[in-house]
Amino acid sequence: MIMRLVPFLSLLWPIVQGTSGHIRRRQAAFLAPHAADLTSNSRRPPATRHLRLQMSSSASVAEAERPAAATSASVDDEAVSSPSSSSIASAVAAYPHAEIERKWQQFWEANQTFRTPPDIDTSRPKYYVLDMFPYPSGSGLHVGHPEGYTATDILARYKRLRGFNVLHPMGWDAFGLPAEQYAVQTGTHPAITTQRNVDRFREQLKSLGFAYDWQRELSTTDPAYYKWTQWIFLKLFERGLAYQAEVPVNWCPELGTVLANEEVIDGKSERGGFPVYRRPMKQWMLKITAYADRLLEDLDMLDWPDNVKEMQRNWIGKSEGAEVDFQVADMPDAAIRVYTTRPDTLFGCTYVVLAPEHPLVASLTTPDQEAAVTAYVEAAASKSDLERTETKSKTGVPTGALAVNPVSGERVPIWVADYVLGGYGTGAIMAVPGHDVRDHEFALKYHLPIVQVIAAAGDDSWDIQQEAFTETADTVVVNSESDLVSLNGMSAPDAKEKITAWLEDNGRGRKKTNYALRDWLFSRQRYWGEPFPVVFNDAGEAMPVPETDLPITLPQMDSFKPSGSIEGPLSLATDWVTTTVDGQTVRRETNTMPQWAGSCWYYLRFVDPSNVEAPIDGELEKYWLPVDMYVGGTEHAVLHLLYSRFWHKVLYDLGVVSTPEPFQRLVNQGLILGPMEHTVFRRQDGAHATARDVDMSGLTPADASTGEELTPERVGDEQLVKKGDAFVLKADPTIEVVSRCEKMSKSRGNVVNPDDIIAATGADSLRLYLMFMGPLESVKPWSTKGVEGVHRFLNRLWRKIVSPDGGCGCSEREATRDELKALHKLIKRVTEDIEGLKFNNAISASMEFLNAVYKWPDLPREVATPLVLLLSPFAPHVCEELWAVLHPSLPQHSISTAAKWPTYREDLLVEDSITVPVQVNGKLRGQLEVPAAIAGDREAVLRLLRDDARVAGVLARVEEQGQRVVKEIYVPKKIVNLVVK
């Protein structure tokens, strides 16, 4: 039995401060490398057996030997304080990563190692792991992009080793506005730009060693692919789910296209900053609202993050309420229909609000208000829906007309306000300022009446003029009685039911289920998109083209500029626009589909990419679908996922697919921020101000106490040291700097190119660090020094297995039971951590294990082999080479085809003893080794504790000071706590 307590415990047992510094040192220490016997270039191997390549010089051996950190935080702790961490370029590898990675990438490609053949053994389990479809931009990847790709690659490699048939494809969401705008600016055909970008992305992804089946690579711009996108559209059209309608849209004349709300900022296009106007246009729409209930209900069957499912629920926005008709006073043929979820508050309606685009605005506006209303409506046309609803200060103008409250008979004013949207509900609302915060603010601003109709039961003290009453529990209806109907004294649910029935009985309203979800605007006035498989006859009627004519390909054009009309650039291709169908001269649709179209169903085509008879083979679909793991960013949490689910359900109804949902499990990887930036603030006299004294709430930083304006200055890592959780100046440790990370962007100049990292330390180091930074789903700051830390770990692994002559440096002895126990604990932990997507934990456990190995006399081959297998999904290149070193007599094969995932032995996981933390007054003070046989016996464990000589001495000193142990708490196998008073 061994009691391990901090050295000063005997002096300060009852009152000593926390040991967080000690714990941090222990966390960092587990990566401290074993002293390597490499002191000169002459003692390093000149070549390896498998790669006859000159090894790196010894100039940076010390750098390669520097301790790596256990966590990204401790890696960052060293980043600015260690003098040996000058730059990543100086970190010379102990193994020839560039040659190893080139060799194995060429091997994988030549042998099609990761190809999933069309004919597979369907008796084996399957695993379909998919990355969200990337758009191949001209700027290429930065280090944040491969995070999710690395995670899916680990899963794909792991599942292959577990005996699964794995489908792990990659392709390109390549239509879209950026390529078209580049074409407009340069005259370069978008196909050329797109292909160049695709080639760049593919090259970068291959350099990271991702185990994609490149034989299944596809692009949305390939006519062989979008033939089936057009086919799906025809099926939507046949089922009445694709139709044309006159709808208000965001029209940008300069870009010559309709923009989504998300593409409009402050009334201007996100791309180019051109003016955008709201105007009605005839557009193709997809009737996604027909599937609203199924889209909502089927969320319950998905293993998705709760926040994503909640965002989808909110976007669909199902609500139960009533539609109510307000007659326009003095206009017998005009009535305003509103939708409300609170018909019980009808007596509190003191005004009605119309959206600027409501069809009744012009006809009911009085002459004296016509100029003001017209100007307001025109101003609203320059705002997106997002701007209109998010603006904090609501504005509006009265129309001069009045509406009749259907339950009270009172006349209320009709206003126009842009926070009401024509596309939501009926485009009109009844305002109840007494019980809605937004309506209350509007009423106060424009001096409109406020009436209370809901009150707390038994309490009428609320000042409704000062604040809206929005409580819903223990309330009753008040001030809600007329000659027509009375709701006074009723609860809200009962009042809702009564007033809704009354409205229906009297022809003044009806029960209504409403959705925030709108039908999908599916037209774009662009060249670079999928052509619609639709033509128009002389009467303007839309007709589908025959399926045998698919694909309808884009015409060759020299100019991609907007046509000057709402028809888009394709209208200028006159020979293409006019065509014949069944001998009839017709005109093609000159709009194209939005970029969303191709990404709605690509996961299906990956299953069967070469099928010329159907979008997907039925038997293959039944085997591979749904996608088992779908990984991508939260920016696609709503629209892409919602649109894909909608198309999938339509295909399900058509019998094309057999599952009601496309993606069974969804994971959103966290954002990787740019490197940490440090700022110090200088006073006017030249002296520095510490960060705690800086007020950054204003336009310029200032001294928080004096208001003196301060000048910010960037400082480099070499000028700083870590002090606690902050950084301070080396020259003056009293000056703390502001340290923060921002999202990577070219405008901030903080983008880290993965090509540079790969060149310096290799793809395996980058992959390993991306997974080591922290939990996959969390936001994490980038640290190039952190890459060096994990690179040193790979160096140490290499040196432990590869001998100086390039052969295997492992021993042939049998591993001891303790060594096997450590190995099988690692196998269990890494297996569980991969299954649980806790990749950082799996890497930390492997680092801890390697530290333990360096204390052994040597590394048995029977331990090294499973260790390499465990690390192979994370660092595949170096592990492939180490596998070859460990098996020199075998024909050269990839781990993925020649090996199986190691399994652990339960008998080796049984502990002879258990380490129990010891606390004093709730603070950790040491550990007690308890024989496993008595770990469940409280008295036996406490006797063991008391029998320890050091503990007895400490307790004696406690008694001398007039203190004593008043309680001994033991949570079996978990913790001992001594309460001292």
Contacts of residues 196-203 at CB distance under 8 Å and 24 or more positions apart, as own/partner, are 196/138, 197/136, 197/137, 197/138, 197/140, 198/136, 198/172, 198/174, 200/136, 200/138, 200/140, 201/134, 201/136, 201/140, 201/141, 201/172
Tokens 């980058």, residue?
766
CA distance 499 to 476: 14
Peptide bond between residue 804 and the one before it cis (omega within 30 degrees of 0): no
pLDDT at 391: 66
- Contact between 419 and 329 under an 8 Å Cβ cutoff? The reply is no
Average pLDDT over residues 292-307: 97
String of DSSP letters for 435-474: S-HHHHHHHHHHT------EEETT-----TTTS-----SS
Q: Which of 82, 76, 83 is nearest to 739 (CA)?
A: 76
pLDDT of 979 > 80? The answer is: yes
* Span 175-212, pLDDT tens digits: 988 888 888 888 899 999 999 999 999 999 999 999 99
Continuous H helices in 728-860: 754-761, 763-772, 784-801, 817-835, 839-853
CA distance 178 to 761: 33
Burial class (CB in 10 A: 0-12, 13-18, 19+), 253: middle
Binned at pLDDT 50, 70 and 90, residue 957 comes out as confident
Tokens 């040192």, residue?
25
pLDDT of 13 > 50? The answer is: no
pLDDT at 35: 29
For 913-980, CATH number?
3.10.20.590
Q: Which of 422, 412, 413 is nearest to 356 (CA)?
A: 422
- Contact between 254 and 272 under an 8 Å Cβ cutoff? The reply is yes
Tokens 């020979």, residue?
575
pLDDT of 142 > 80? The answer is: yes
Token pair for 404: 């009749």
Q: Which residue has the higher pLDDT, 404 or 1?
A: 404
CA distance 293 to 515: 9
pLDDT at 954: 66
Please compute, for residue 519, the number of CA atoms within 13 A of its CA located in the half-sphere on the CB side.
Answer: 18
- Contact between 847 and 839 under an 8 Å Cβ cutoff? The reply is no
Tokens 């040996």, residue?
84
pLDDT of 87 > 50? The answer is: no
- Contact between 31 and 788 under an 8 Å Cβ cutoff? The reply is no
We find that the CATH architecture of domain 798-908 is Orthogonal Bundle (1.10)
Q: How far is CA 435 from CA 30, 342, 391, 438, 462, in A?
A: 60, 10, 20, 9, 12
pLDDT at 272: 83
CA distance 712 to 689: 10
Phi and psi, residue 51, nearest 5°:
-135, 100
Binned at pLDDT 50, 70 and 90, residue 785 comes out as confident
* Span 843-898, pLDDT tens digits: 999 999 999 999 999 999 999 999 999 999 999 999 999 999 999 988 888 999 99
Binned at pLDDT 50, 70 and 90, residue 213 comes out as very high
Please compute, for residue 325, the number of CA atoms within 13 A of its CA located in the half-sphere on the CB side.
Answer: 13
Residue type, 232: I
* Span 524-574, pLDDT tens digits: 988 999 999 999 999 999 999 999 999 999 999 988 877 777 788 999 999
Binned at pLDDT 50, 70 and 90, residue 947 comes out as confident
289: Cβ contacts below 8 Å, ≥ 6 apart: 515, 517, 518, 519
Q: Which residue has the higher pLDDT, 805 or 503?
A: 503
- The rounded mean pLDDT for the chain is 86
318-515 shares its CATH topology with 798-908:
no
pLDDT at 59: 29
* Span 259-275, pLDDT tens digits: 877 678 878 888 788 98
- 764 DSSP β-pair partners: none
Binned at pLDDT 50, 70 and 90, residue 38 comes out as very low
Token pair for 195: 């292909």
SS (H, E, C) 508-542: CEEEEEECCCCCEECCECCCCCCECCEEECCCCCE
Q: pTM to 2 decimals?
A: 0.81
- Give the containing element (helix H, strand E) for 584: strand 584-588
Q: How distant is the alpha carbon of residue 82 from its chain centre?
A: 34
Percent of the chain with pLDDT over 90: 63
* Span 317-344, pLDDT tens digits: 999 999 999 999 999 999 999 999 999 9
CA distance 129 to 150: 12
pLDDT of 140 > 90? The answer is: no
Tally of CB atoms within 10 A around 582: 8
We find that the CATH architecture of domain 110-223+597-667 is 3-Layer(aba) Sandwich (3.40)
Binned at pLDDT 50, 70 and 90, residue 7 comes out as very low
Length of the chain (residues)? 981
- 722 DSSP β-pair partners: 727
Query: Can you identify the CATH homologous superfamily of domain 318-515?
Result: Valyl/Leucyl/Isoleucyl-tRNA synthetase, editing domain (3.90.740.10)
- Contact between 45 and 804 under an 8 Å Cβ cutoff? The reply is yes
pLDDT of 81 > 90? The answer is: no
pLDDT of 17 > 70? The answer is: no
Tokens 């994370």, residue?
874
- Give the containing element (helix H, strand E) for 740: strand 738-740
Q: Which of 544, 549, 520, 548 is nearest to 532 (CA)?
A: 544
Continuous H helices in 43-132: 61-65, 72-79, 97-111
Q: Which residue ranges make up each domain of the chain? A: 110-223+597-667, 230-292+521-594, 318-515, 673-742, 798-908, 913-980
Q: Which residue has the higher pLDDT, 692 or 435?
A: 435
Average pLDDT over residues 647-670: 97
pLDDT at 747: 66
pLDDT at 324: 98
pLDDT of 22 > 50? The answer is: no
String of DSSP letters for 177-232: HHHHHHHHHH---HHHHHHHHHHHHHHHHHHTT----GGG-EETT-HHHHHHHHHH
* Span 821-857, pLDDT tens digits: 999 999 999 999 999 999 999 999 999 999 999 999 9
- 592 DSSP β-pair partners: 524, 531
Tokens 């009852």, residue?
14
* Span 57-74, pLDDT tens digits: 222 323 333 333 333 333
CA distance 115 to 199: 20
Tokens 């997106």, residue?
384
SS3 call for 981: coil
Average pLDDT over residues 596-625: 97
